[in-house]
């Protein structure tokens, strides 16, 4: 039976995403009512600039007092799309304490304080949903938390930032340098005026922490994620990648150790074979590749940012939370029973592509090979070219630990015949 009394929703933030959430709630009101089993009513919108005209939102709903809004007591669901740590953290906690469930798109907060927020939600018997925090419109959090809850996930590897993928794709397809590709991304609106959070991997690292925590039933915080930006990637790196049949992507990689006793989470640029599904992800799109025992290999693909895609994920969570509210139930909370340790980056094992500037004379290759051998790093292929007394030496290794590779590179820098290390790139997806 359809309930006639509406479920009341408070919206915190009315920017690109928030305004789209409000628009969809209004234009799709009848469909949302049918899907939920009760009407949903936008009961208030908290903003910083109340004088700004917001099409489709009644002025009387707008307030600058977000705390008073979430404390009203008649709010069923709070939708938080303001981002950042504070005041979002305090507002979400207050919402739980005053009887509301929460839908959030706040990746930074969830990566830093997700465990504490889940604990408060559980204490008060309320939902905390956050599909929109990772990969925009792509259904990813719910499949990991629910559809694959009976499976054992071993690895999650993906492109989770559209800005960086656009830049790297432009460098790959046009031969442009990093700055030229960044300028294009900025002109087209794919990059912020200050792109640091994207290009230095902070955004992707927050998403990696969330994905690792859900996938491995282990608390993984932002500080646990190794992060390396992509600003040092060059056109020469792409040329080397093409010679190997690869391209370069900024990847978020979360994986379980082979013995199952620990997990790692990392974000960095990597060469990936053109045969891998992630290699074909173009432009500002996102994709996440999941490997599990029973389901095997799965890939989730789609637009990872923007007002409408992100709002789609928010509305999906809103429908689920409202249904739970009507039935008196709650959805899945935090699952951290495994409590696996998070290994440092030094323990991570992968392949490496190292480009060295060396003297072009007999014996150099033998010296370099000896250093690799002394540090237990096995060489897969070597390519050397040069003239006029200078040469470039490209070494591709078999799988080795990050710590072993770091020691190798430090020793190489001490050789008189090695002029410099031009680049080091991990090779993933093989």
How many other CB atoms are there within 10 angstroms of residue 143's CB atom? 18
Write out the catalytic residue numbers. Answer: 207
C-alpha span between 155 and 380 (Å, rounded):
24
pLDDT of residue 51: 86
pLDDT of residue 391: 87
Please report the beta strands in 36-152, taking only residues with DSSP state E, as ranges in sequence order. Answer: 40-46, 62-63, 77-80, 101-104, 128-129
State pTM to two decimals. 0.95
Q: How would you write the pLDDT of the chain (430 residues) with one tens digit per residue?
A: 566 789 999 999 999 999 999 999 999 999 999 999 999 999 999 999 988 878 889 999 999 999 999 999 999 999 999 999 999 999 999 999 999 999 999 999 999 999 999 999 999 999 999 999 999 889 999 999 999 999 999 999 999 999 999 999 999 999 999 999 999 999 998 899 999 999 999 999 999 999 999 999 999 999 999 999 999 999 999 999 999 999 999 999 999 999 999 999 999 999 999 999 999 999 999 999 999 999 999 999 999 888 899 999 999 999 999 999 999 999 999 999 999 999 999 999 999 999 999 998 889 999 999 999 999 999 999 998 876 667 899 999 999 999 999 999 999 999 999 999 999 999 998 7
Instruction: Decide: 46 and 69 in contact? Cβ < 8 Å.
Output: yes
Find the Cα–Cα–Cα–Cα dihedral 189, 194, 195, 196, rounded to 10°: -170
Instruction: Decide: 264 and 341 in contact? Cβ < 8 Å.
Output: no
pLDDT of residue 162: 94
């Amino acid at each position: 039976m359809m309930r006639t009394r509406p479920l009341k929703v408070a919206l915190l933030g009315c920017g690109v995403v928030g305004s789209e959430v409000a628009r969809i709630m209004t234009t799709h009101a009848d469909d949302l009512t049918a899907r939920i089993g009760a009407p949903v009513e936008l009961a208030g919108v908290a903003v910083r600039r109340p004088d700004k005209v917001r099409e489709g939102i009644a002025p009387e709903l707008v307030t600058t007092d977000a705390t008073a809004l979430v404390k009203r007591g008649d709010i069923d669901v709070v939708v938080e799309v303001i981002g950042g740590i504070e005041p979002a953290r305090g507002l979400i906690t207050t919402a739980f304490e005053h009887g509301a469930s929460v839908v959030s798109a706040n990746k930074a907060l969830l990566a830093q304080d997700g465990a504490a927020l889940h604990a408060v939600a559980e204490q008060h018997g309320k939902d905390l949903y956050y599909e929109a925090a990772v990969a925009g419109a792509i259904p990813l959090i719910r499949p990991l938390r629910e559809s694959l809850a009976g499976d054992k996930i071993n690895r999650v590897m993906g492109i989770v930032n559209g800005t960086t993928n656009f830049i790297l794709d432009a460098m790959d397809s046009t031969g442009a340098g990093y700055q030229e590709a960044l300028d294009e991304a900025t002109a087209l609106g794919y990059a912020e005026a200050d792109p640091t959070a994207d290009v230095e991997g902070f955004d992707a690292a927050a998403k990696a922490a969330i994905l690792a925590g859900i996938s491995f039933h282990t608390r993984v915080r932002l500080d646990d994620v190794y992060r390396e930006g992509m600003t040092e990637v060059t056109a020469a790196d792409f040329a080397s990648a093409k010679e190997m049949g690869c391209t370069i992507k900024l990847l978020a990689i979360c994986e379980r150790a082979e013995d199952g006793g620990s997990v790692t989470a990392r974000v960095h640029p990597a060469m990936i074979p053109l045969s891998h599904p992630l290699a074909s992800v173009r432009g500002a799109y996102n994709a996440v590749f999941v490997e599990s025992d029973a389901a095997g290999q799965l890939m989730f693909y789609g637009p990872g940012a923007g007002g409408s895609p992100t709002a789609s994920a928010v509305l999906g969570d809103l429908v689920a939370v409202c249904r739970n509210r009507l039935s008196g139930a709650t959805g899945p909370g935090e699952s951290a029973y495994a409590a696996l340790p998070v290994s440092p980056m030094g323990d991570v094992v992968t392949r490496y592509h190292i480009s060295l500037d060396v003297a072009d004379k007999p014996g150099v290759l033998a010296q370099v090979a000896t250093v690799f051998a002394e540090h237990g790093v096995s060489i897969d292929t070597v390519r050397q070219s040069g003239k006029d007394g200078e040469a470039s030496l490209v070494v591709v290794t078999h799988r080795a630990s990050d710590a072993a590779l770091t020691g190798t590179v430090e020793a190489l820098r001490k050789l008189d015949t090695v002029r410099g290390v031009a680049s080091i790139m991990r090779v993933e997806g093989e």
